[in-house]
Amino acid sequence: MDFRKITAIPLLLLSLWGCSEDDIFKELAANGELIVVTRNSPTTYYFDGDQAAGFEYDLLQAYADARGYTLRVEVAFTLEELIRQLDQGQVHLSAAGMAITSEQAQKFLLTDPYLEQSPVVIYKSGNRRPRRLADLAQRDVIVLGGSSHSELLEGLTDQIPALTWREVQVGDTLELMHLVTEERAELAVLSADEFRLQQQLYPRLVAALDLGIKEPIAWHLPNVAGASDLKIDIDRFLAQARRSGLLANIRERHFGTTQFSSRMGAFTFNRRVESLLPKWQPLIETVASEYQMDWRLLAAVSYQESHWNPTAKSRTGVEGMMMLTRITAKELNVDNRKDPQQSLRGGARFIKNLLRRLPADIEQPHRLWMALAAYNIGLGHLEDARIIAEKNGLNPHLWSDVRSQLPKLQNPDIYPTTRFGFARGNEAVTYVDNIRQYYSTLQLMSLADDRIQPPINVAEMAATSPAITVPLAL
């Protein structure tokens, strides 16, 4: 199945279910094609190069794989259009990171919640900051049209009578952040996870207020006969995904960097992407291709190591773009550590070696994060942390569990009992967190180039464009 096949809306199709609403689950069982509508956004569904990605996509694909279905993804460019597809029975379900509203709960079937979102109010640094709910009054506040945040603000009008807001009819909260950055809106309300992930692209934006509530997120199904069978089956899958750790694994993969976000770090990185990266990107891409790596990963590691400075040198004697030790450089056949090509090749080769040497049963992306930790702290110390994790009832195959134990390698009550002794475990944690942050930022920047565009509004174009003469087709 070609997952790049995306159908714009409106869909000029007959109803998916034929003449009878009773066929909704029978159709799925007969042809094995699960049709889902979602949003094109960094937190739901997008293309990273030629690979489909996003939290919702990965969870959907896991469900489809578990049931032997073929997944077909449709993209709605506004929540209004997404609701319309559901309402008209054109899809089996929506999976768009949508919090439950009272209106949708009455209108659609909802799966058991699989995530919670915490709405936050954001503003542009340097402008007037709202410090309490009352400060939202008489401010230009925007929300995603059709989202739960309109209902949330509606519930605040009793205590804040002067509260007003605008709904922006787009499918992606990046547009809200763009409007606040450009000062075409003062404030915006969006989920904390979405903001923290996307803040990397808009480091001037700050979360001013946490609205202090948790909104459950669920998949939505058309409320027609037979859909309840699909809902029951999805709920079984979600329950199993929680028990097995699959849900936590997917969440950590996509949102694991958000809690480590540094606004100043993101701002500095973005500036250096503009000023320094163009000089080094061709070489980084060439070396990454040689070693079958994502060039953005190699760029992230080299930035963490040297800030793309080929002559960088630390007080401990490591030097070069990838900050190799003299011993490691010799093992990797790097003669001149200050030669950027040699250094990048050596660092890429080192990462590949570490990936190969880790236990075979450590899966991605945990394998990559552990390899990067080993790049910083050594495989021996990483293994000590994995052993400590297992002794404490944690999973030594999950990066989040190993990450939590790495700081113990500098605890004088613990490190004498390990095989390889003392290590700066906190530094290894920060090292990997930073690289993940930089890597994620570069991925988001690439996303803008591959963004799925909404359908062209011909009528709107005609109304705003000068008159032209179109020759008749022969």
Measured distance CA(148)–CA(119) in Å, rounded: 10
Burial track 312-329 (b if 16+ CB lie within 10 A, e otherwise): beeeeebbbbbbbeeebb
Q: Are 145 and 179 in contact (CB under 8 A)?
A: no
Q: Which two tokens stand for residue 344?
A: 């990048």
Burial track 264-274 (b if 16+ CB lie within 10 A, e otherwise): ebbbebbeebe
Residue 190: its H or E element? strand 187-191
In the chain, how many H helices and how many E strands? 19, 14
Measured distance CA(208)–CA(134) in Å, rounded: 13
Three-state secondary structure call for residue 139: coil
Q: Which two tokens stand for residue 323?
A: 């900050």
Residue 47: its H or E element? strand 46-48
Residue 122: its H or E element? strand 119-124
C-alpha distances (whole Å) from 447 to each of 50, 205, 429, 440 are 11, 20, 27, 10
Longest dimension (CA), the chain: 86
CA atoms within 13 A on the CB side of 111: 27
Q: Which two tokens stand for residue 205?
A: 């934006």
Measured distance CA(283)–CA(341) in Å, rounded: 7
Cα pseudo-dihedral 149, 212, 40, 102, rounded to 10: -40
Measured distance CA(141)–CA(186) in Å, rounded: 6
| CB neighbours of residue 283 within 10 Å | 18
Which of 184, 240, 190 shows the shortest CA–CA distance to 43?
A: 190
Out of 56, 81, 305, 319, pick the active-site residue: 305
Q: Which two tokens stand for residue 381?
A: 């110390």
* Residue 383 annotated to the active site: no
Residue 337 has what DSSP assignment? T
Which of 55, 52, 48 shows the shortest CA–CA distance to 439?
A: 48
Q: Which two tokens stand for residue 316?
A: 């401990």
Q: Which two tokens stand for residue 238?
A: 């979600």
Q: Which residues pair with 94 in a beta bridge?
A: 37, 220
> What residues act catalytically?
305
